[in-house]
Each structure stands twice: as structure tokens, then as C-alpha cells.
Amino acid sequence: MLVKSLDDTLNTADHVTGPGFESRRILLARDGLGYSFHDTIVKEGSVQRLEYKNHIEANYCIEGEGEVEEVATGRKWPLRPGTMYVLDKHDAHIIRALKGDLRFMCVFTPALTGMETHDADGSYARSDKA
């Protein structure tokens, strides 16, 4: 059995911050599960353009209000606690945190190693370590 808490991640190398976001990477490839699990915060007022070309990501909102926009179509969906969106086609998307910080529970497959950083297009490189 594997047991971890958010406190195990905070203020470690697995707690990644950047302009407008925090990614608290609780489960990673080194845990051997085939997926990674993240507690992610998108700061109020920030806009994140992302496209995970090498990963599928599921996001479940637990705090805040905002929207996700599908870049290909311009279609937008509201985000609030209880809303899930899945990037099942490696969709380019834009996240806007409109009211309070958005907080998501996120699952990536294949698992992230924890060393990834966003490329210029908002993607993570494929990791063969996953």
C-alpha cells in the first residue's frame, strides 16, 4: 500500500510553481502506477494556454470558478467545483481563473516524472521513464 499526503509534497522538488500556477505532484512515475496525480492551483486572473501532445490529462475542479476553452473550436465551458474536463485528444486549451484560484485534482497518463517543464507550446515532452 502507498500512502502519501499533500504535506509530503509541499516545499519539495515535487512542488512546482510558475507564473500563475502551482503543481503539487503527489504521485509520479517513480511510484510505478502508470499515471501521476497532481493537486494543481491556477491563480485568480491568470490565463494558461496548454497542449499536452504526449499525455492524456483529466482535471476535476474542487475550488474556484473559471473556464476552459478548446482552442480548435473556440468553444468554452464553465469551471466550478464538481466539473471535470478531460483532454482525451491532446486538445490545445486555455484555462482562465476568473473568480478565486482554480484548484484541480489532475491525473496524467503516462505518468509524469516530475522533472517536466512546459515547452513554448504549453506541452510536456514525452518521458520514456514513465
* CATH number, position 56: 2.60.120.10
Distance CA(36)–CA(76), nearest Å, equals 26
The stretch 49-61 carries a mean pLDDT of 93
Residue 65 lies in a domain: yes
Residue 92 lies in a domain: yes
Give the pLDDT confidence of 16-48 residue by residue, as tens digits: 999 999 999 999 999 999 999 999 999 999 999
Residue 24 lies in a domain: no
In angstroms, how far apart are the furthest CA atoms of the chain? 43
pLDDT of residue 116: 64
* Helix, strand, coil distribution of the chain in percent, nearest 5: 5, 50, 45
The residue type found at 18 is: G
Residue 89 lies in a domain: yes
CB-CB contact of 55 with 38 (8 Å)? no
Residue 23 lies in a domain: no
Is the pLDDT at 123 greater than 60, yes or no? no
pTM metric for this prediction: 0.87
Answer with the residue of higher pLDDT: 24 or 126.
24
Residue 17 lies in a domain: no
Residue 21 lies in a domain: no
Give the pLDDT confidence of 70-120 residue by residue, as tens digits: 999 999 999 999 999 999 999 999 999 999 999 999 999 999 987 765 555
Residue 15 lies in a domain: no
What is the total count of domains within the chain? 1
The Cα angle at residue 17 between residues 118 and 82, in degrees rounded to 5? 90
Is the pLDDT at 130 greater than 50, yes or no? no
User: Predicted confidence band at 52 (pLDDT cuts at 50, 70, 90)?
Assistant: confident
Q: Which domain holds residue 63?
A: 44-101
Distance CA(101)–CA(30), nearest Å, equals 29
Is the pLDDT at 56 greater than 50, yes or no? yes
